[in-house]
Amino acid sequence: MAVFTNFSSKGRTVSDLPGVATLGEMNFAFMDFGQGDCTVIADPDNGILVVDCGSVSFPANGINDVVAMIQGWANGGRIRVVLTHPDQDHYNQIVSVCSTIPVTLVDHIYFSRAQSNESPLGYYVVNALGANQHVLGFPEIHEITINEMFDQEKIWNNSNQYEAPVETLEIPEAGYVVASGQTMDEIDWSIKIIAGNVTADGPMTEQSNAASLITLIEFGEQKALLMGDATTETMNYLLNNQADQIGNINIFQMPHHGSENNIPSVAFRNLVNPYSIIVSVGLLSNNFHFPRNVAIDFWSGGTNLRDNELVLDLWEYGSDDYTTNEDLNRILNEIWNAYPVSQNGSNTFYWLTHPEDADPDRSNTGFYGFTNNYFFLYRHHTVKDIWATGIEGTSEESFTEGLFLLTNKLSKKNQSY
């Protein structure tokens, strides 16, 4: 399920129930896209922006839910798309989603990491995004660079078949405005990109993550910050160059799905100091073992974070009590022997069909899943306002319902590791 929230003149609401996009308000749908990311925003003038649209591990009906959300909110109008960076779990479904929606076409794409002037989307290879602009309606594509060296926009369009930029423009260091306006209540609002193509050393994956476009949404005094897979380098750039814009964020999307490799400085956390946090992550998605417990612990230390009673799943690597294959078999054959157990098709991931069997007193000490490479999955009953898209975050009942549906899809008979 998605997490729905909005900014309005009356404040903010949060729900896991689908809502309509209300004119005069800033509407957000953080979609459940499994191991991936897709956020749909309807601005106060009903302009639609999709931030990322990719997944490498879908939940049941994941594509259909995103298609229905975009189609319902866009209502036949053209949309704009921000693709934060060329990791496939952030972009690989945009062609499939948009080709499924009748009438609605993409007006502009904003992206990072152009491969070259002659092949701007050359790094976006899945579904041949660069060669399929006709499916999207031949949008303008804009590479946005706001980093230590440049603040510029490069624009390509179909006038020359996207073979060279038709314009290169300087943009303000404070950010590139995607949309802005004022409501009838005279509330100023804007959506802008405040970092992009930040540079980093290391492997290509780290360079790609660091380049993530960072999107700031403002509605009066309320702010949301969408982080893509931002790295330490990205967050240091924001801290050093955009600090006046990113203090005390109302809705903060945790970088890189809660990876422990993307934990910033305490100074950055204390500046952003969110009231609510969203983690884009899939239920029972063991591809990358997100979110990690250390990331959740770190962000839970913010002083603004509101109190709430929600449900999260956390991954942790290693356990002093289970260090060998024999130990893992002991979990199945002795410790969990009395309980229903499910497993994936490759026999590499096992979990209790009813997670409460691991932690009946809700003390958050029992793991309810493990992998053959020693990652352990814990059910966590948090008292902080941290929502996870696939995990629904709302209550034990809605979590368990989603878990039941996914378990039926994935499970096989119980057998030893």
Domain end among 138, 157, 189: 189
pLDDT at 359: 86
Q: What are phi and psi of 89, to 5 degrees?
A: -75, 5
Q: Given pLDDT bands bounded at 50, 70 and 90, which one contains residue 336?
A: very high
What are the strands of the beta sheet with 79-83, ordered from one edge?
A: 11-15, 3-8, 26-30, 36-42, 48-55, 79-83, 106-111, 140-146, 151-156, 167-170
- Weakest-pLDDT range from 2-11, 27-36, 143-152: 2-11
Task: Evaluate whether residue 332 is within a structural domain.
Answer: yes
Task: Evaluate whether residue 76 is within a structural domain.
Answer: yes
Cα–Cα distances in Å, from 277 out to 144, 190, 389?
26, 20, 11
Q: Given pLDDT bands bounded at 50, 70 and 90, which one contains residue 1?
A: low
pLDDT at 365 over 90: no
| Number of domains composing the chain | 2
Q: What is the mean pLDDT of residues 9-20?
A: 73
pLDDT at 390 over 70: yes
Question: Tokens in use for 175?
Answer: 């950010």
- Weakest-pLDDT range from 90-94, 159-163, 307-311, 391-395: 391-395
Task: Evaluate whether residue 158 is within a structural domain.
Answer: yes
Are residues 185 and 325 located together in one domain of the fold?
Answer: no
Domain end among 143, 169, 189: 189
Task: Evaluate whether residue 122 is within a structural domain.
Answer: yes
- Rounded to whole angstroms, the Cα distance separating 129 from 94 reads 8
Task: Evaluate whether residue 9 is within a structural domain.
Answer: yes
Pairing of strands 367-371, 276-279: unpaired
Q: What is the mean pLDDT of residues 224-237?
A: 98
- Rounded to whole angstroms, the Cα distance separating 140 from 106 reads 9
pLDDT at 285: 82
- Weakest-pLDDT range from 11-25, 49-63, 76-90, 287-301: 11-25
pLDDT at 16: 64
Q: What is the mean pLDDT of residues 358-368?
A: 86
Burial 240-270 (b: 16+ CB within 10 A, else e): ebbeebbeebbbbbbbbbbbbebbbeeebbe
Are residues 33 and 170 located together in one domain of the fold?
Answer: yes
pLDDT at 60 over 80: no
Task: Evaluate whether residue 112 is within a structural domain.
Answer: yes
pLDDT at 104 over 90: no
Domain end among 189, 208, 238: 189
Q: Given pLDDT bands bounded at 50, 70 and 90, which one contains residue 400?
A: very low
pLDDT at 415: 34
pLDDT at 62: 81
Task: Evaluate whether residue 98 is within a structural domain.
Answer: yes
Q: What is the mean pLDDT of residues 209-235?
A: 98
Burial of 345 (0-12, 13-18, 19+ CB in 10 A): exposed
User: If DSSP states are collapsed to H, E and C, what string results for the chain?
Assistant: CCEEEEEECCEEEEECCCCCCCCCCEEEEECCCCCEEEEEEECCCCCEEEEEEEECCCCCCHHHHHHHHHHHHHCCCCEEEEECCCCHHHCCCHHHHHHHCCCCCEEEEEECCCCCCCCCCCCCCHHHHHHHHHHHCCCEEEEEEECCCCEEEEEECHHHCCCCCCEEEECCCCCEEEEEEECCCCCEEEEEEEEECCCCCCCHHHHHHHCCCEEEEEECCEEEEECCCCCHHHHHHHHHHCHHHCCCCCEEECHHHHCHHHCCCHHHHHHHCCCEEEECCCCCCCCCCCCEHHHHHHHCCCCCCCEEEEEEEEEEECCCCCCCHHHHHHHHHHHCCCCCEEECCCCCEEEECCHHHCCCCCCCCCEEEEECCCEEEEEEEEEECEEECCCCCCCHHHHHHHHHHHHHHHCCCCCCC
Q: Give the sign of the dihedral formed by CA 195, CA 271, CA 260, CA 400.
A: negative
Question: Tokens in use for 168?
Answer: 């290169």
pLDDT at 328 over 50: yes
- Weakest-pLDDT range from 151-155, 191-195, 309-313: 309-313
Cβ neighbours, 10 Å, residue 178? 23
Length, in residues, of the chain? 417
Paired with 188 in beta bridges are 182
pLDDT at 286: 86
Q: What is the mean pLDDT of residues 137-160?
A: 97
Type of residue numbered 8 = S
Q: What are phi and psi of 225, to 5 degrees?
A: -130, 120
Mean residue pLDDT across the chain: 90
Q: Which domain holds residue 11?
A: 3-189
Task: Evaluate whether residue 173 is within a structural domain.
Answer: yes
pLDDT at 217 over 50: yes
